[in-house]
Structure 1
Amino acid sequence: CYAYENLRFELRSGALGASIKVGEFTSLGKGMTLRVEESRNQGANLRGLFVRAQNKDGQSLAVTAREGTFLSTDDPDVILLRLRSGTLVHSPRPGAIPRVLSFEQHDLPVNLPAMTNFRKRGEGNLEKTLPELGAILLDRKATPEARRDASATFNRRLVQCLVMFVLPFLAVALAVPPKRSTSALGVFLALIMLVTFHKITEYGERMGSLGRVDPALAQWLPFLGFILLSLWLYRILAYRPGGQPIGALDRWFAMIGSAVSRLAARLVRRENWRDDVLSAG
């Protein structure tokens, strides 16, 4: 608990110090303004400070200091701005004669901005870690439904991690276009394959959670098919002389593209001919 609170303070106070812009007036909450001439160690050591604070009763405080730093307090919502070697001007009320003091060290409390609570952790398996899912699988006291649901999520997580080692082979196989071709068909096919694989495993996870299919087979069979297809495409490119994994598809798409272009050209010529006839008539 102490380590967490210490880390929490370091994050908040460090972010506060780092957010202070040198040479500009920065608001530190209601009624407090800070200006810094120099910032060192990512905001941990401030030099040439000017601070002005005013409360609801009209009391005002103006401070100049040679250096300052943020320190923690027992209150997690309050930190101290410790100032060294400076001058303090205190006015108890508007119109009153201010008091001027010199100091070697002076602490000013700073109220940290309210930090919104982070959302609670979900109750399903979506946000559980792999060790937690494995513990559910090995727990004999868990219900069959809970173990089946955990198995579906556990296997899909493993598949999603392992598929990253296969993607380089697929990327190389589909990134090289056929000779004398500038088509980006391989990139388009790679995106389709990845999205299709993701949707198949997602559907398998859902069906495995419902008990309609085996949770392990629903993930590892599509994964095995994806591996075999990727390695086969890579083998064609790497080990066959002049092999092009998508050469046939590229030729088919080129034929379809040329046919569409010819059809569009005919339609344009027909429209131009009709316009000429109407203008002549």
Structure 2
Amino acid sequence: MSSMFGKPRATPSTTDRHLPSLLPECNVAILGCRGSGKSALTVKFLTKRFISEYDPNLEDTYMSEETVDQQPVLMKVMDTADQDVPVNCERYLNWANAFMVVYSIDNKRSFEGCHQYLDTISLHAKGIQHDYPILLLGNKLDLEQYRQVTKAEGVSLAAKYGCLFYEVSACLEFEAVQHVFHEAAREVRREMERNLPVRPLFITEERPFLHLAAPTAVASKHGLASCTLNTLSTVNYKEIPSVAQAKLVTVKSSRAQSKRKAPTLTLLKGFKIF
């Protein structure tokens, strides 16, 4: 990062630059017409400082280790250098997993230029069948008295493309700018969670266990009846339950034992645990 940007809040050291990061990453591309305030928002987020003048032809990517919802994340921000229309879009379309499209509320032309960027992202997402989080930002909220784009117009455009919408100012409070960048990270995390592969659920047909013959009473030589089974013989025999509701089977060797019911383990009908 150039010295004019100041020292970022979290930048990897020189010895760590070539080491792979173990943190989850969020790649955010900042798009918009020239003069919309893309670089000012980027620098505000990274340094908490506001700088009003930049070289519009410079493009770079910056990193910052952030904590979002008590979870660490490595945010990479590409400050693009497109002038007024999308040019060589592949460089950020194939890199980013979230986009911020910025316009200035005091410049109607910068707002109208957002349509081209939003169309470009939408066509790319449709082509690869993948949805990207998109945030539409109305910047320079401090210039309210010179507003040319109403908030309702911003909300309407965001709704058309399924974007989140915010109005911010790079020269006002840092927390508002930080919030939109962290919201981009949250949206990326939600999108990744939605695309996680679902583990297959194995459902088997319920089948009864082995049928046991009914016990028959046979007189013993002492005149007392005893319980015998054709295949199994046990004391205080309990019928083996079906798979729909399996109870723990216990064997009692004495009538003096507690007659409390055995604990039960209830399974969903038709499911088996592998």
Q: In which range does the TM-score fall when normalised by the shorter chain? A: under 0.3
Higher relative contact order (CA 8 A, sep 6+): 2
TM-score, with structure 1 as normaliser: 0.21
Decide which structure has greater helix share.
Answer: 1
TM-score, with structure 2 as normaliser: 0.21
